[in-house]
Amino acid sequence: MNSREFVEKLLAMADTKINGDRPYDIKVHNNKFYRRVIAGGTLAFGESYMDGWWDCDALDECVSHIIKAKLHDKVSFSVANVSQYLRALLTNTGSPKKAFEVGEKHYDIGNDLFVAMLDKRMVYTCAYWKNAQNLDEAQENKLDLVCRKLGLKKGQTVLDIGCGWGSFAKFAAEKYGVSVVGVTVSREQVELAKENCKGLPIDIRLQDYRDVSEKFDSIVSLGMFEHVGYKNYHIYMRTVRNCLKEDGLFLLHTIGGNKSVKSADPWMDKYIFPNGMLPSMKQISASCEGLFIVEDWHSFGPDYDKTLLSWFSNFDKSWQDLKHKYGDRFYRMWKYYLLSCAGAFRARDIQLWQIVLSPKGVAGGYQSVR
């Protein structure tokens, strides 16, 4: 069996054809694609798309088909996958020295890109689409959901770990009358967040979460835990516990995986989120032992599929204004990132969780908010 026949046989398990006429079928432009993917796994699959070796009219649906068929398990051995796993074992990818790399390589790409792609508040985490007609409404729904889950009250203090461009801080300060300290590892985010939050009781800092020492009434972390790394989960939770008042609440909003791993997908690590990985339920629970009581666990991963499609639509519509700065290969990389992630959420291979934690348990019980 030659390399093309092998790949065609694999794709057939995912009801996907080479050069077929369905939107999720793959159209191959370079016959070296087959050997490259067999040898390089998911890294080669993504890189060959970036290089224009193949296309697909419905990339998100193609990836969803492939993931549902578990093709990754059938070609999981590659130099990239092995080296990625060994690096995760031998080094601490979430150490203080490496913490700022994702800020420099991802979040500092350019504020113009994220302004074009995101909603009007610039929320770069999963929206909450219940009773929402568009992305702006869905993101406001999510921000308000978080505030209500924390039971925020006027005059309280809140720590926002991974504050982005200040979207949550600004919303909570304006709508709920709280003061917020926001920390991020991105210089670009700090610059724009300070501008966005001007005149409000908000302190935006370029700071690693481990360096925060004040006490807060509530702590929130939206889409930052994915950058922590399994070797630092307990350190992260210990830091949060030390910064949270005894009667406070902590809301953790994170993408999660269905099984415990020690490294990320090689393509995602190389091109999008260096040093990141997705935690499992088991890993999160273990990191909380002796520190927190789990009050509420809310799963709404399918909402991320719709969020990512909205982000891609915005990005695609704005591309003519961005292309002179970023170039065609970046377009294919970013398209692959957004739509492959949408496909992964659609296949339920990855999840989105909001978890409410308390130091000693809410007296009388916590009332879940949806």
Looking at the annotation, which residues are catalytic?
Answer: 341
Helices (H) and strands (E) in the chain, counts: 16, 9
Tokens of 326: 């970023």
252, 221 contact by CB (below 8 A): yes
Name the pairing type of β-strands 179-184 and 202-206.
parallel
Q: What is the DSSP letter of 227?
A: G
CA distance 267 to 7: 19
36, 323 contact by CB (below 8 A): no
Name the pairing type of β-strands 350-358 and 244-257.
antiparallel
Tokens of 17: 């054809």
CA distance 62 to 70: 13
Q: What is the DSSP letter of 279?
A: P
CA distances from 141 to 138, 178, 193 (A): 5, 18, 20
Q: What is the DSSP letter of 278?
A: P
Burial class (CB in 10 A: 0-12, 13-18, 19+), 281: middle
